[in-house]
Structure 1
């Protein structure tokens, strides 16, 4: 038989509850549109009690972004088993799961939201990008990347971020197509760089040698073959 007496939360437990409530609200609406009163009501406590744990909305916002940034960074952590194309496709699936579920919060994190100019927020954004960069290099088995490889990986991380932000504005392209396209984009960026650099050509050759014909990279090759006539100036598809 229950008594109906509400259990008193400890300090850290209450802080984590408020962060979770704020992140949930920020995931569905712009943080600018969420008030402390709404956060307090959703947490079932008074407005003054929110300020007991956080000095203001900005500090609660940054704490929520900290949790979101940690979750987002972890999405790029993938076992190094099997072909790289399939691994990247799984990563993109988790990435877009997060983006889809936390749209406004993701936008706020990557665009700065109400914390524009905050060194704390900028540092969190840089951490997410750096974690993604390091994870991709680890998948490639490269500890000390050449300047061109570093450029390819960082460009691809930025492309994934900007693609997700654009996709959130209307979701007009099927999500599964974008996930596969971003995996193709990685191979395309590597291929273009390989055309200019022998070291990158070696990286690309090693990467493709482990890819099955029915994998994401094999799919890209098939699509490019069908576009063959367009690759020659003056030619067109019939």
Structure 2
């Protein structure tokens, strides 16, 4: 899609279609890289990291093994690149949603998060460590950075007068709950989407209100703040 200035909007990672089997076509390098990332994430969702080979990924993307090594250096490289792209898409959509609805930034951000879970379950599963993935190293770094970035988005919206350690800990705990509940919702479809949004926002409210009652520093930091 192009805007009024004729500039092409970036295509979300999850909108890239799976490669169609048949005679190999000459693709743009960016399209090849995206196809390899998407194929890798699909395989990693179905099987553990150790059970997927470079040949499996290349075949699933209908590309050659040397091409995968050329772009990513191997299996771990394509996995980490896919995680980073998924994280970037998630964070960009959450930030945009909050900026469009500054008075209801938390609800908007939660809605964007669930949109991503629904639209890109493969990437979401890999990003939150669902199933078996390589432990430690770059993949864990990406996952940790994503959680820290979501924490940053929440603090930006909350705009506390200060950032007591307990406040950050409670928000991190809520982010972890959102991950777990989001994964269950992705797998079962329950509860209903609108109900789930209200539950997650209500959990945030309850966690911060309870913390403020027991910690004067948090109570002072959140004085006169709203986040619905």
**Residues 39, 60 of structure 2: 8 Å contact kept:** yes
CA apart distance, 1:30: 4.8
1:191 aligns with 2:209: yes
Cα RMSD (Å): 3.1
Residue equivalent to 2:158 = 140
CA offset at residue 82 of structure 1?
A: 3.8
Gaps in structure 2 of 5+ consecutive residues: 1-23
Q: Any residues of structure 2 matched to 1:168-187 within 5 Å, and which?
A: 168-187=186-205
| Cα deviation code 1:115-137 (max 9, x no counterpart) | 33231111111111100111111
Question: Secondary structure in 1 aligned to 2:188?
Answer: coil
CA distance in 2, matches of 1:164, 1:139: 21
Structure 1 residues 62-110: Cα deviation after superposition (integer angstroms, max 9, x where no partner): 2111111222232431228643xx2111111111111122224322221
How many residues are matched? 203
- The 1:170/1:147 distance shift into structure 2, 3 A limit, reads same
Q: 1:20 to 1:146 in 2, by over 3 A?
A: same
Distance 1:30 1:189 in 2: 36
**Structure 1: where are the runs of 5+ without partners?**
212-216, 218-238
- The answer to which of 124-133 and 136-145 deviates more is 136-145
Paired residues of 2:45 and 2:122 also in contact (CA < 8 A): yes
Matched, 1:130 2:148: yes
- Aligned partners of 1:99 and 1:106 also within 8 Å: yes
Match of 1:79 in 2: 99
TM-score by length of 2: 0.73
